Structure 1
Amino acid sequence: MRFSRRNFLRGFGLTILASTSPALCQTQPVLKPARLKVGDTVGLINPATFSEPKEIEDLRKTLSQFGLNVKLGKHLFDRYGYLAGRDAERAADVNAMFGDTSVNAILAVQGGWGCNRILPLLDYKLIRGNSKILMGYSDITSLLLAVYSQSGIVTFHGPLGASTWNDFSLGWVRQILFGGEAVMLRNPIEGVSRLDRKKMQPPLRVETITAGKARGKLVGGNLSVLAAMVGSNYLPSWEGVILFVEDIGEEVYRVDRLLTQLKLAGILNNISGFIFGQCTDCDPENPLESLSLSQVFLDIIKPLGVPAWYGAAIGHIADKWTVPVGVEVEIDASVGTVQFLEPAVV
């Protein structure tokens, strides 16, 4: 069975102590990568869990629809237990792709677990000097946040190479990464389900926690991975940030615990807005003995007094947004939209 990030974190106990001080400040001014264009080359890496060759062949076909070429990381198919090679090898692929002038963008193929282990091995000065699009989600959250906080480059919480690349998801990639548009992110039209590889995705509905609008830099990712980074040197400043999170396979009490950890660490008290995407397969085993997610949000997020909502098209789902980390946006929690105030690429 494929290794699962959430199973690792569950086994680990998620008992990492929260820092008693806010996250470190941004160490570099924000730098936007160049937009994609036809003929560009995308470097494929596995900084966490390994891939099967069949996944790469499918991805080649998808990227060719954009007119993009592919370059494989040297250690893309390496294996070390549940990891795609040893830490030094996976980190070397990240550094090499940033340093390779023939590569215009970098795409992680798989999530899983492992990015946290390579963060101290990355050459952030090299990365800063060779800014380019870096995209993925799930465990790739830690790589996106570390590159953003340490090198100052806008990164992208979006499809993995192994994701479902449907029309909805491809549309945001085109507009944001190719077109450089200052878009307004909206969920798919309610009532329209789109075909996933395994099942139909239900309609995504917005649930307002606190109505209102807010502006700030959009920063976030997978909730479990973010919580596991608390206390490290690889998180940005949270002052005035619009925080977005999502997760998969975490029962409600664990979501409660993770959000509480962010609160105790001082993160939630600094943000100007909050977005919870999708919590896929997070239903409690005993509903009658559990709080609902809505109740957890009312207990922890509502008292913050900042615009907040649940149900955005972010997470382990087929229809997903491409979400830039580090771009100024305005959110409207009453209707569940994210308006870019600037392009994410140049």
Structure 2
Amino acid sequence: MKTRTIELVAPSGYPSDPAAVERGLTRLRREGHRLENAEATRRRFQRFGGTDAERAADLNRLADPARPLPDIVLAVRGGYGATRLLHGLDYLGLRRLADQPVAIVGHSDFTAIQCALYAHAGVKSFGGPMFAGDFGAENLSAFTMQHFWNAISHAEFTVRSNVPQRESVDATGMLWGGNLAILASLVGTPYLPPVEGGILFVEDVNEHPFRIERMIYQLHQAGVLGRQQAIVMGEFSGGRLSDYDNGYSLDAMIEQVRTVTGVPVITGLQFGHVENLLTLPFGATAHLVAEPRGFTLKLSDYPHLS
């Protein structure tokens, strides 16, 4: 593996487990990578990884033309807080990232940063592992690491799934999306990119199916889903049903979404708040082919490291 310069950014919460931070730092340094802004892992202000100004500065440093760009920009963790920074980012300066092979990586609350960067600066990024929870995990996921390094180091790759599908799809469009709660929260703001003919992937954690449906309805009623060719459902981990649901399950909710939106819904994407997750390029060109026996998602046209 080629050694890389990795810059840590903490736009959301602070890491709650100091041991995970030390594991992540040790592992990456042992592999020969150079870590910059490691102090971001130690900052705390209320429930955030620093004050709003400190956390915005993590990202705005990337806009400084006097500073060489890192190979990888890695979010420390998710949680909440990225939305508070969107109005204060130097989008004009950050546009220099759009033409450079820099891998900007994170998921969960980081979805807000990814959407805003694409909407205002044309910057493509990656939904993928984060520093504390993934690189610092007690048991490092070989699956997650293999897919991460493969995705950011190759000009194209294909995701394959043998999860049976209810609908057939053959579509090409821009892959975008991420955390469903964040996407829904950006509706009506200038930070949700107006993607036409896209392939939207979504995931979330600790959300009951009715809450997932409500957020999907918000995207639908705002006209976002009607402009997409397909919705690809990632992992919705942590949600719990009760006797009151009376047959209303995640599967029942997905059937309701299909009926109401008229947009094909593909299931089984291995992305979300799970131990083994794919890395997906936000803004890439995607060719999605789904059939009864599974689906493939071929991805190209995104920044990758030589």
TM-score (norm 1): 0.78
Match of 1:186, SS? strand
Classify the secondary structure of the residue corresponding to 2:241: coil
Q: Which of residues 257, 260, 266 is equivalent to 1:300?
A: 257
User: Could you tell me which residue of structure 2 aligns to residue 62 of structure 1?
Assistant: 27
1:288 CA displacement: 4.3
Counting matched residue pairs gives 292
One-letter amino acid of the counterpart of residue 109, structure 2: D
Q: CA deviation at 1:333?
A: 2.5
1:78 aligns with 2:37: no
| Offset from partner CA, 1:6-61 (integer Å, 9 cap, x none) | xxxxxxxxxxxxxxxxxxxxxxxxxxxxxxx8332101111000125433321123
Inter-CA distance 299–166: structure 2 relative to 1 (3 Å threshold): same
Instruction: Say whether the 8 Å CA contact 2:118–2:193 is kept in structure 1.
Output: yes
DSSP 3-state at the match of 1:338? strand
Q: Which residue of 2 aligns with 1:95?
A: 60
Please tell me whether the aligned partners of residues 177 and 202 of structure 2 are also in contact (alpha carbons under 8 angstroms).
yes
Report the equivalent of 1:338: 297
**Bigger mean CA deviation after superposition, 301-310 or 156-165:** 301-310
Query: For each residue in 1:169-217, what CA deviation from the matched residue of structure 2 results, as whole angstroms up to 9, or x when unmatched?
Result: 1111221112x14111135xxxxxxxxxxxxxxxxx7252422221100
Classify the secondary structure of the residue corresponding to 1:294.
helix
Counterpart of 1:210 in structure 2: which amino acid?
E
Instruction: Give the 5 Å matches for 1:241-256.
Output: 241-256=198-213
Distance 1:290-1:85 versus aligned 2 partners, 3 A rule: farther
Range that drifts further, 114-123 or 52-61: 52-61
| Counterpart selection for 2:95 from 128, 141, 156 | 128
Give the residue type in structure 2 aligned to 1:226: L
Change (3 A) 1:311 1:331: same
1:285 CA displacement: 2.7
Instruction: Verify the 8 A CA contact 2:124 2:302 in the aligned structure 1.
Output: no
CA distance in 1, matches of 2:190, 2:250: 30
Q: CA deviation at 1:67?
A: 3.4
Aligned to 1:195: none
Residue from 110, 120, 127 that aligns with 1:150? 120
Distance (whole Å) between structure 2 residues aligned to residue 115 and residue 338 of structure 1: 29
Aligned equivalent of 1:234: 191
What is the identity, as a one-letter code, of the residue corresponding to 1:217? M
- CA drift at 1:292: 1.4
Q: Offset of 1:300 from its aligned partner? A: 1.5
For 2:226, the equivalent position in structure 1 comes to: 269
Are 2:170 and 1:213 equivalent residues in the alignment? yes
Same amino acid, percent of matched pairs? 30
The aligned residue for residue 76 of structure 2 is 109
Question: 1:304 deviation in Å?
Answer: 4.1
Would the aligned equivalents of 1:48 and 1:139 in 2 still touch at CA under 8 Å? yes
The separation in 1 between residues aligned to 2:37 and 2:200, in whole angstroms, is: 33
Read off the aligned partner of 1:336 and give its amino acid letter: F
Tell me if 1:329 matches 2:293.
Answer: no
Shift of 1:73: 5.2
Question: Once the 2 structures are TM-superposed, how far is the Cα of residue 102 of structure 1 from its aligned partner?
Answer: 5.3
Q: Distance in 2 between matches of 1:129 and 1:118?
A: 19
Contact 1:148–1:236 (Cα < 8 Å) also in 2: yes
Name the structure where helix makes up a greater proportion of residues: 2
CA distance in 1, matches of 2:39, 2:90: 17
Q: What is the CA distance between 1:295 and its match in structure 2? A: 1.6
Deviates more, 1:205-214 or 1:140-149: 205-214
Query: Is the 2:172–2:287 Cα contact (8 Å) retained in structure 1?
Result: yes
CA shift for structure 1 position 167? 1.3
**Which blocks of at least 5 consecutive residues in structure 2 are unaligned?**
135-139
Task: Provide the rounded CA distance (Å) in 2 between the counterparts of 1:286 and 1:74.
Answer: 47
Corresponding residue SS for 1:256: helix
Report if aligned partners of 1:73, 1:93 keep a CA contact under 8 Å in 2.
Answer: no
The residue that corresponds to 1:182 in the other structure is 156
Question: How far off its partner does 1:290 sit?
Answer: 5.1
Q: Is the 1:246–1:279 Cα contact (8 Å) retained in structure 2?
A: yes
Distance between the aligned counterparts of 2:171 and 2:214, measured in 1? 26
Moved over 6 A (4+): none
Distance 1:207 1:230 in 2: 31
Q: How far apart in 1 are the matches of 2:149 and 2:197?
A: 29
Q: 2:304 is aligned with what amino acid?
A: V
1:173 aligns to 2:148 (yes or no): yes
Residue pair 2:5, 2:34 contacting (<8 A) in 1 also: yes
TM-score by length of 2: 0.88
1:336 alignment partner, SS class: strand
Matched residues in 1 for 2:279 and 2:127: separation?
A: 6
Aligned position for 2:235: 278
Q: 2:81 is matched by which residue type in structure 1?
A: G
**What do you get for the CA RMSD once the two structures are aligned?**
2.1
